[in-house]
Structure 1
Amino acid sequence: MWCLELLLPVLLIIHDADSQWNVWVPRDISAMTNSCVVIPCTFMYPSSIRPYRGIHGIWYFGQPYPQLFPPVVFKSRTDVVHESYKGRTKLLGDLNQRNCTLLIGNIGAEHSGKYYFRADLGGANIYTYPDFAELKVLDQPTIDVPEEIVSDENLELTCYVPDNCPDMTPEIQWMYTDYLPDPEFSSDYVEESNTAVMSSTLAFVPRPMHNGQLLGCRVYYPNTTLVYERLISLDIKYAPRSVWVNISSEVMEGSSVTLHCEVDSNPPPRISWMFGDQELLWDTASNVSLSLDDVTPKSEGIYTCVGDNGYGVMNTSLYLSVRYPPREPVVNESLTVQQGTSLALHCSTQGNPAPTLTWLKDGELVGTITADELSVLEVMEITPQGDGQYRCLAENEHGRASSSFNITVEYPPVLLEESKCTVVREGVQCVCMATGNPEFYLADLNITINETDNRYNFYTHTDGHMSTGMIKLREKGERVNNGGPAVNVHCSISNMYGRESVLLELQQESKKVHDGSHRWHHWRGSGHSLHHCSSQICGPKQQELKTELLGSKFNSILEETTGEDGDFQPVGPMAGLERQELNYAALEFIGVRPREGAPGRGDDGGNYMEIKAK
């Protein structure tokens, strides 16, 4: 050990003793304060010199040259010494035997330094030896600590104390070893050239938990009050043994969050914050914080803190969840499909927590409510009633969003039961009502009336998928008598998906007298539908039904052709026809708009056409 080398004396080898002034002293020697120390010393001088009146000796402190007036430690011819050495020094050796060994007792820190010996053989034979012994006065023992202490590796600590005082023998104890794992103790004693060192070695295997622990070496001298102690703090190097981070957390989109990481290791590690394979931040410290501002859903994921101090690597991860309201759902484009088609309607969105998805059709709930980011609404064999607006509504605790699209269902036209011919005050009125998609419009009209020159008006109106056509015959002659002519109207409608037609028949009304009241019997509809009612009971309701079916644009027409009291009156001018049959050609509505050059629209907004009888 280095301390042994410091305490071992340096021997000056004299090759020619007859011609040299030489001295042997330990170069380094140590002692504890308030104890004593013996400095071994042997000197030589040329053999040709014969000491005159014996040999005298002087010990100096600090300087070897008397002209510089160094403090006198000991002087053999007189007891005149420096104040700090009075009563403290004694020559143990016999100068005549060339032994200059010196004892210094009750030494203090001020006595540390270099000591020189000067030989006086009488006359001019006085010589100060340039070699010196350097005394170190210690106030505590020395503990030899390795430069690096690594966890789980064997460790030896050695406590040294000088033993250079003949009257006082030191003893060594270790302190604060109760919590060490299986400590072992051993002692050693080294003596060379009249200097000695006593030592005690403590051996054990340190753990990370022992980092920073105090250990002590105590030296005491039996039968005295002298006690010396030395304390050290263990600096144990160990790999990261724990990496602490925030628990997995939730944060709202657009807010800020700070992630903390603390690593237990020695020395402090290089701490890195990783997001996937990307290193976001690093520093050499025991703890590092990562700040995230204005977080987005892209900030969601696993964040890992890695600690590496050269002795090992350790990491811990956390999951950062970013909460946000649902995004605008992605849905189908608007569709046009044929009746009977089966559909799969998709709605997808993103949100945290996962949103609930609700399907609405024209504001009404359809399907089931799902808690997921994808919902599929199955529509099997869609009917015309499936036509409308479909909306997907996404909701979670942070907000809602929706998207909509339209489904248009195309289907063959269907003639409605409201299609009929009716005798009104001024003639005959036939109405043809149908629904279908795509929309259909009047394309052509051909009316043939036998043996009459009456004028006819024709009207059409379309409202969504509903179309209505009406022919009105205005008679100018006398009203028809009982048993007037029968009217046959053929109404047909078609589009790209199909065609439907029906024959509307009207039998002339007859007047019957019974108990002073007038009742009219009406047969109306498609020829297979019979309806009977009295004018007093059915008249106003009949007009109301017509108004509802034909739409507001036909109100004025219906009012004009109906009696003031709502009763259906006999058609007088038709009596002259005497059961002559009126033939009304087909009214056809096909899937095209009126061709150019067709008659324009009247004030009521419907298509208007006036046809003269051929």
Structure 2
Amino acid sequence: MFYISILLQLLLSAAVASVSVSYNPKSICVLERSSVDFKCTFDYPYYSTLETTKWFKPEAHQKQDGTQVGISVYHSNTAEIHQLYKNRTAYANQDRNCSLQLHNVSKNDNGMYFFRFEYSNRGKYTGQGGIHLSVAVLPFRVTVKTQKENGHIHEGDSVTLTCGTENCTPKQKLFAWFKNQRLIPEATDIEFSISSVSHHDFGNYSCALKNSSSTSADEILLDVKYSPKNVEIAVLTSGKIQEGNSLTLICMSNANPLVTNYSWFLIKEANVSHIGFHREFFIKSASQKDDGQYFCIAKNDMGSQNSTVIALNVEVTIHQNFLLIATAVFLILMAVVMFGLIIRRIQITLKKQPTEQTPAATATEEIYENLRKSSESEGNFTKCVIYADLSLPPSTSDRPRCISQEGDTVIIYSLLSYKE
């Protein structure tokens, strides 16, 4: 009798020891609208008959450790399957294999899942631990991690971009990363790291499952702060830079944050002068006084940079050239005329000066004399009247003179005849 009791205890211990359920893995993350496999094996006494197998999910108000049976996800009696899971499951239905496949998962399927079996002689067992299912709700979201406490990213900082969803991210998948909607070929993991960011890394980033356009994430801006770069001057004008035309100089740059301060400078004859403090420098009517070399300085909270120097040459129009030339010719001609008049005046003055000293004259006499030849030859000659002003000294002759009213002026008329 004693030996029989010991044998029964050993058989009971062996029977109890053989009852078990094993899950693998303990936690699963899958994308919504996809399928998931709950891997499961179980054991029960060989001399027992398996009566019922089921998978259940505790409801929200129940304990999540499997001690309280919730809704039936799968049941060997199909009538017991909950309406939410009908036609969505596939049981392995193999000896001691309790694996279950769940199709078209959604975020409502998040939670714990347990396997329970019942066998003859009222044996019941629920596997401890269960499987936790997390459903990744699309779309993916990109999160940015940096060492800076304030979250601002400056050039040189280390940055990690992570592709994730609302609940979890299936790490076993291959990912694709995009910058400004262009593929980054070398990035295929769930994380994309940049050890030292620069202004070239500024842009919008997104991720997706590789070879799947339907899982692409919304774009997120990688906001890299940097000082002004590529500062240059753009010249806007209605035509050529000609005198009288208006033109605008624009200080252009690439910066983050935006440039908040501009300064304009003019280099002329080795002198540098400050001429403006706005992004645009406007010249209403260009002239040659605006000729020179121009440059601008762009500044933000991160620093500043000078632009390259540009030379501005204002052209004089043809009409203006003609006026200048005509004016110059007129002035030259006037100078020549004035010079000629001066020379002429000098010559006249020199001609009037006497070459020899003459006795001082006390009176001027105009003498007219009649000179005739013989009467017989008079017809062969032409008569000509010659007027001459003679300056004569005082005369003592008794010859009669004609005294004019002006004074001692004597008028002498002489008639000369000459043969033709």
TM-score normalized with structure 2 length:
0.46
Give the helix-richer structure, 1 or 2.
Answer: 2
TM-score, reference length from structure 1? 0.34
- Name the structure where strand makes up a greater proportion of residues: 1
